[in-house]
Amino acid sequence: MRIVLLGPPGAGKGTQAARIIEKYGTPHISTGDILREAVKQKTELGKTAESYMSKGELVPDSVVIGIVAERLKNPDCASGFLLDGFPRTVAQAVALDETLKENHMELDAVISLEVDEDEVVRRLSSRKVCSKFGAIYSTAGGAVAPETCESCQGQVITRTDDQPEAILRRLQVYKDQTEPLIEYYSKAGILKPVSATGSVDEVFSRVVEALS
Ligand code: AMP
């Protein structure tokens, strides 16, 4: 299955992606993860990306489109993939369509995780992540996140783009640049809106139903 996971920051894309790949066995392509790894490794890509990411801005289309086009050539994507956090602009969606067409492929579904803005701000301001593999912890409702990850002992941190100013900027960027994709994929007839409120299990069962 070829799936795109769409939604504002904090909608739970990463969490649902982990469940989707577990169930469907498709490779998970998260442009956010690829870029964060490049920043950590201090590669040329990482140096370019970091200045945009820390401010909550999008990394330029030309950079991100190239990364995804290369990744999709990998043989593990031949029978399907889950794109998480890409496309994020109409230009990226058009480029993705072209890449898929060149490879005689098309998308099966675009899952659009829907959640209101207050909830997104609440989730992002209480989110902590493992600096090694990205496991997500929440301090919502007074919960205490561990200092080190329960699975891999990596340090648990607040992402620089989860600082209050960057959160607001990311939400604005989502509205201006990513939200138009809802119409784009709706017109293409493959948009599957899914309510992203409730427990992880509840949201996941809605995702499975949308994909069935
Ligand atoms: P994410 O983990 O998906 O929230 O992405 C974190 C950050 O990486 C975003 O705020 C952007 O700065 C950058 N990023 C991730 N995916 C893309 C994309 N498709 N286009 C441009 N920038 C991206």
Q: pLDDT (tens digit, 9 = 90+) per residue, 140-163?
A: 888 899 999 999 999 999 988 888
What is the pTM assigned to this prediction? 0.88
Token reading at 79: 């029978």
- State whether the beta carbon of 16 lies less than 6 angstroms from ligand 1: no
- The answer on pLDDT for 166 being more than 90 is no
- State whether the beta carbon of 159 lies less than 6 angstroms from ligand 1: no
Q: Hunting for tokens 């490879």 — which residue is that?
A: 103
3-state class (DSSP) for residue 76? helix
What is the model's pLDDT at position 164?
84
- State whether the beta carbon of 85 lies less than 6 angstroms from ligand 1: yes
Task: Identify which of 30, 54, 58, 179 to mutate to test ligand 1's pocket (most ligand atoms within 8 A of the CB).
Answer: 58
Domains annotated for the chain, with CATH where assigned, are 2-27+74-115+177-211 (3.40.50.300)
Rounded to an integer, the average pLDDT of 29-58 is 93
pLDDT averaged over the chain?
Answer: 93
- State whether the beta carbon of 26 lies less than 6 angstroms from ligand 1: no
% of the chain residues with pLDDT over 90: 80
Expressed in angstroms and rounded, the spacing between residue 143 Cα and the centre of ligand 1 is 27
- Closest atom of ligand 1 to 31 CA is 16
Q: pLDDT (tens digit, 9 = 90+) per residue, 76-89?
A: 999 899 999 999 99
